[in-house]
Structure 1
Amino acid sequence: MTATPHPLVSSARRLARELLVPNAERVDQGEVPASHIEAVKRAGLLGVGAPKEYGGADAPVAVARETAEILAGACCSTWFVQTQHHTPVKLLATYDSPVREKLLRPLATGELLAGIAFAHVRAFPRVLVRAVPERGGWRFEGRVPWYTGWGLNDVMLLAGVTDTAEVVFVVAEAREQPGMRPSAPMRLAALTAARTVSLELDGLRVPADAEVLRAPREKFALVDLPRAANASPAVFGVADAALDLVARTPDGAEPARTLRARLDEVRREAYALADHPVPHESVPERLAVKTRAYDVLRAATTAAIVAGGGRSMALDSRAQRLAREGMFLLVQGQTAEARRTHLGALASG
């Protein structure tokens, strides 16, 4: 956590206090409204890590983590929609491409909202979306199993795999169009409000100047694996919010203090590993700490349910919402290696 609040941290806290928390249970039973995303934009949070020369804040990574914790703890559905945006921003800022000059500024300032459609690449050697080179650009065939923010996002970062095992990232418009058809919004146990659909790609054509990056799959995996092995700030944000509930109950003050000490310890370890100068090193250690973070999250949200008693069974219960959001975070961005590590830790007690 930052010692002196950064302006964006103060903005995130104000947004959480005045808008997200008071409306979180209503949003959970419906959908993230466009007005919530507009409020995130006005707070400057869509550009938290974007370069200043393109209109972003270029804030330290500690600030990005803290604002993510605040948003996730306040309304995880809103956090999940807007968190997709930061990956396309980072990729465009990192790699020079024709589309960079066209899109990085409107994304950094929040004029446009971006989503992501590339988690399916982790299923390799299964190829769920094929990228086929053709004259003037690329054609995409297959199915994107999960795409969040449909109806809110303006553009998406889409990835496919070529016949030569290259991963191709492009930017496409996030709307129904020839070659791309969305499913009905998914009904999920948690975060239905985040407007998640699957996408059928049947000859979606994207021009060559929309390409962001093309890399061998091995290179993509080398970058993606350590990132996916790190504990998400959202885990700490939801756990914090659950412990706040516990602490306000008659018997909850001491359990909340004990669990918060555990949470603070694992947070420090997780962020220290995430800041390792060689990203692809220490992956087993990252996964072990990530699993411990899940343990504390599960304990915190369970404590909130227990402390709330029978009221926790109501659909408008904050404790129940946080418990379901915690369940979602157990599998969000999950890789096969993370799943094996987590299951092994559960089996060993």
Structure 2
Amino acid sequence: MDLADLPRDPLAPLSPDAVLAAVRDVARGPLARVVEAIDREGYYPRAELQQLAALGAMSAHLDAPAGRGDYRLALQAMAEVSRVCGATGFMVWCQAVCGLYLQASGNPALTGEVLMALARGDALGGTAMSNPMKSYAQIEGLLLKATPVEGGYRVNGTLPWVSNLGPGHACGALAGVVNEQGEVVREVMFLLRCDAPGVELRDCPSFSAMEGTGTYALRVKDLFIGADDTMADPARPFIARIRGAFVLLQCGMAVGVTQGAIDTMWAVEDQLGHVNQFLEDRPAALQAELDALTARVMALADTPFDPSVDFFIDVLDARAHGAELALRAAQSALLHQGARGYLLSSEVQRRVRESHFVAIVTPAIKHLRKEIARLSAEAMPA
């Protein structure tokens, strides 16, 4: 497919197979050519992200008119991108969940042109929900606080790192609403615009494998949030409704990074298979495990808003399995490649670091296991 002929409408009449073929072309063409710059130089792939958005890669899961309502396609597209570049796959997820927040809000001020601009890639955005997700799991406290004022809230606080940000970007964020005694009485979720008065983006220390992801420390001082930017107030019922879809979409990253690692194992099979046969976690076995996990994720994608606890536990378990499999596959890829995989320029070195990110990005493996244990205990009969 000629990339110059890519549609600028994410709802262009392409079949799912055609969308995936076009996403694959972008991933293996323009994106592959800049992957080292993303990883080593901190290049932010705006143009490549916008090409992917034009195909609907980051909006396929959204309901019409913004998307196709197809979570399977969204996960497959994210996996194709992550197979080439885990950092860009992560940004695809950031953009996808920002769209999820906007559409699920039901706020006409957010579900119209604001959502459509994000779906087209004209606007780019992320998610500042790492801290709130950890807060709900009682891992840390809320870092943004909202004080009620006439017409809305004044928000203050600092988040240490939020990704896929930059000038003109936005992200979904959550703050604890405080009473006159400074106690958090509920939470409010809102669209935080990076260019709004009171918002400051600060550079973070260099990140392993994620240097090109537009990750900043986000400082908010007296930011006014009114009705037009409010996603949910109170936020907890909203979070409960979208949490399965939020976590499930991350499985696209895990599948893609794992597949990329397996690809590099097969790449040396002709030359090194005679000795690699003595290693554990061989590519055929890893591929079979990945295919089974992918099938499981695709089945979950048919009902992403299932409200049951059992469904959410299944999603958390699939996400944890994906992270663990990515770690094993990347480590095995390094062993299969041998000395050539130890070169700093080797994509295997990048895969190892990307797999670490899949394992620690919120919800991290320990967070996932904590929630699975808590929910399983609560679901047990007395």
Q: Does 1:332 pair with 2:337?
A: no
Residues 60/16 of structure 1: CA separation in 2 closer, same or farther (3 Å cut):
same
Q: 1: distance between equivalents of 2:309 and 2:263?
A: 35
Deviating more after overlay: 198-207 vs 146-155? 146-155
Deviating more after overlay: 67-76 vs 27-36? 27-36
Q: Does 1:172 pair with 2:192?
A: yes
Code of the aligned partner of 1:65: L
Code of the aligned partner of 1:304: A
| Structure 2 partner of 1:87 | 97
Task: Give the secondary structure class of the aligned counterpart of 2:67.
Answer: coil
List structure 1 runs of 4+ shifted beyond 6 angstroms: none
Residues 48/227 of structure 1: CA separation in 2 closer, same or farther (3 Å cut):
closer
Code of the aligned partner of 1:81: M
Cα-to-partner distance string for 1:13-37 (whole Å, 9 max, x where unaligned): 1111212223312321122232222
Q: 1: distance between equivalents of 2:345 and 2:102?
A: 40
Which of the numbers 21, 24, 29 marks the counterpart of 2:35?
24
Task: Give the secondary structure class of the aligned counterpart of 1:52.
Answer: coil
Residues 227/106 of structure 1: CA separation in 2 closer, same or farther (3 Å cut):
closer
| Structure 2 partner of 1:296 | 325
Cα-to-partner distance string for 1:34-92 (whole Å, 9 max, x where unaligned): 22223223333233233433xx3315211111001001111122222232122232232
Q: Does 1:97 pair with 2:107?
A: yes
The answer to whether the Cα contact below 8 Å between 1:228 and 1:334 also exists between their aligned partners in 2 is no
Which of the numbers 225, 241, 253 marks the counterpart of 1:223?
241
Task: Give the secondary structure class of the aligned counterpart of 1:162.
Answer: strand
Which of the numbers 69, 75, 91 marks the counterpart of 2:79?
69
Q: Does 1:10 pair with 2:27?
A: no
| Structure 1 partner of 2:272 | 251
**Superposition TM-score, scaled by structure 2 size:** 0.79
| Structure 2 partner of 1:347 | none
Q: Does 1:238 pair with 2:260?
A: no
The answer to whether the Cα contact below 8 Å between 2:190 and 2:232 also exists between their aligned partners in 1 is yes
Give the gaps of 5 or more residues in structure 1: 344-349
Deviating more after overlay: 111-120 vs 266-275? 266-275
Code of the aligned partner of 1:137: G
Give the gaps of 5 or more residues in structure 2: 1-14, 179-183, 374-382
Q: 1: distance between equivalents of 2:36 and 2:223?
A: 37
**Superposition TM-score, scaled by structure 1 size:** 0.86
How far did residue 111 of structure 1 move? 1.7
Q: Give the root-mean-square deviation of aligned CA atoms.
A: 2.7
Q: Percent identity?
A: 21
How far did residue 339 of structure 1 move? 4.5
Q: 2: distance between equivalents of 1:27 and 1:151?
A: 15
Residues 96/11 of structure 1: CA separation in 2 closer, same or farther (3 Å cut):
same
Deviating more after overlay: 259-268 vs 85-94? 85-94
| Structure 1 partner of 2:142 | 127
| Structure 2 partner of 1:261 | 288
The answer to whether the Cα contact below 8 Å between 2:161 and 2:215 also exists between their aligned partners in 1 is yes
